[in-house]
Structure 1
């Protein structure tokens, strides 16, 4: 997807060439990946003679938002903060990103509970 997001659209042969520059994937593996991404509605295709041109059907930001939301929806509410801390400590961030995070965290601090409640099991107070 990053290839398509970066260049806007590409044929399967262009995608194959670009992926092979970084990974040792076969042509059939790349074509299978493209077919699956079309099946998941992440890519759309347009016929151009005998070849297909792939373009994004979802923006990179929307895809990242969906992946993050899905990942965090599966976590215990009590463990999300620790995972965010780990991600932040292991990620290279710009000064502007850090300043924005500080501002968001300062705003959240005003209404944050002393402890986040567990959401693992219904009817349980705190299983964690």
Structure 2
């Protein structure tokens, strides 16, 4: 698997295709389409278009097997999820990351194993005294509040 350092940015539909590829390991367009067409209403051409985009984005590789192409992932599901999470956090104030994680946990269904894993991570976490706002003035209220409520 590729160890990309660049952010992995894929659309919701591309996620659907990638989930099949991650599950199958190696697969062709028809197999992917057969699995997704009933729930997504896609035609084979749609699936092939999405596969082409994923190859262009360098997250899928392709090899020819007879008359068809076989696709396999160049990035892991874990890498892609981590990149998506980092992307979400890069779009919010650093001071809101903790409350965003708490909100995500509140909404998520978790097994006892999940909870134990999260608690173990939290037990090891060393809190910082303060988190600095990383926003441009006007993007959040932190800088507005620290300026006596006046816009900077």
Q: Normalising to structure 1: TM-score of the pair? A: 0.87
Deviation sequence 1:11-68 (CA, Å, 0-9, x none): 1111111111321112221111110011111110000111100111111111111111
How far does residue 121 in structure 1 lie from its aligned partner after superposition?
Answer: 2.5
Give the aligned CA root-mean-square deviation in angstroms: 1.6
Bigger mean CA offset, 83-92 vs 99-108: 99-108
Q: State how many pairs are aligned.
A: 123
Q: What are the ranges of 5 or more consecutive residues in structure 2 without an aligned counterpart?
A: 1-17, 145-152
* Runs of 4 or more consecutive aligned structure 1 residues displaced over 3 Å after TM superposition: none
Q: What are the ranges of 5 or more consecutive residues in structure 1 without an aligned counterpart?
A: none
1:20-99 superposed matches below 5 A:
20-99=37-116
Q: 1:112 pairs with 122, 127, 132, which one?
A: 127
Query: What secondary structure does 1:127 align onto?
Result: helix
Q: Normalising to structure 2: TM-score of the pair? A: 0.75
